[in-house]
Amino acid sequence: MAVFKPENVEDFYEIGDVLGSGHFGQVRQVREQTTGTCWAGKFLKIRKMAGSRLGVDRSSVEHEVEILQALHHPNIVILKDVFESRAEVVLILELVSGGELFDFIAEKENLLESEAIEFMKQILEGLGFMHSKKIAHFDLKPENIMLSNKVSPDPNIKLIDFGLAHRFQQSKEYRSTSGTPQYIAPEVINNEPLGMAADMWSIGVITYILLSGLSPFQSDTDEGTLKNIIAMKYEFFSQYFSTTSSIAKDFIQKLLIKNPNDRMTAEECLLHPWIKPITRKQVANRNRSSINMKNFKKFNAKRKWKMSYNIVLMCNRLIQLKLLCKGSSDPDPRQRQCESDTEDTESKPASLLRRRLSSSS
């Protein structure tokens, strides 16, 4: 059961600058009074009434808290405290200040496969620990793979955002069509029973992108992307994989498999010769091979542009909705409609996916 403290957060932490904000709350830097340690405080407005669309549902916060309180690993973001008042819940999280892994890599001039493998090891170790606890992430993507800081010579990977994570119980099936289209597994699209193998598919996609700067299934539309995933329509194009080792391609091929039972587990990935070479020849091949940095930079720039565009689009829509609500002569129905639309702009890609699936069926 998730543990929420009824005390006032300001009795224990000094509230600092805003690090980020959204419709339902904001993230601020906070300083622990007893130790002087800085953390990230996630201040979330809680939905006051069952029928209201404003604020976060407490049960969803409780779900994420339960997951994080069960996970203590160097490669998973730390949840230190949770405070609750009548109006909000405050999560005290590890301050992850190094930014996204993909942004860090994009700043480099070149990167050998052997260097990329060190990052993949940490991701797999964190994921393997999660899976050992019967917890799947279900939203692995570049935006959720962060660095604890940039100044360390050996940056530490941190997996974040456990809003879609699920803890499996024996003999209980779990289905969900949530996720981000280009990273989800075929069984998610088909609404089949899910397991930890869905995360391993995402690892295959992320590795493919990391090495080539190309997304294996991405189309011009989400519908096209989903169709490519179902059809297993991908290949290793020579112009993007000319500097990639054959053993790296083998690693990806053992993850991008339609049958979840045939995919490598996180533990098996850590023992794969690409991650843990057996022969000197395998070591030499890794050291000679590199990621397609030119194309990777293009992919990352396009990804960041799309994220910025979506934020501007969301802000413009929120402004229009607020004006609509203020100009209404019948406030109650309008307010309900505005609340619904406003919340939808904050929805995860999961909601988009559900709409895409229903409209294409």
Cβ 92 vs Cβ 13: under 8 Å: yes
Strands 157-159 and 135-136: unpaired
249 marked among binding-site residues: no
330 belongs to the catalytic site: no
**Alpha carbons 348 and 344: distance in angstroms, whole number:** 9
Whether the CB-CB separation of 199 and 136 falls below 8 Å is answered with: yes
Q: Which amino acid is at 66?
A: E
Stretch (H or E) spanning 21: strand 13-22
Three-state secondary structure call for residue 220: coil
Region for 2 from its dihedrals, namely left if φ exceeds 0, alpha if ψ lies in -120 to 50, beta otherwise: beta
Nearest one of 187, 192, 126 to 157, comparing CA atoms: 126
Q: Which of 139, 161, 199, 341 is catalytic?
A: 139
For residue 105, give both structure tokens. Answer: 């890599």
Binding-site entries for ATP: 42
Catalytic residue numbers, as ranges: 139
Binding-site entries: 42
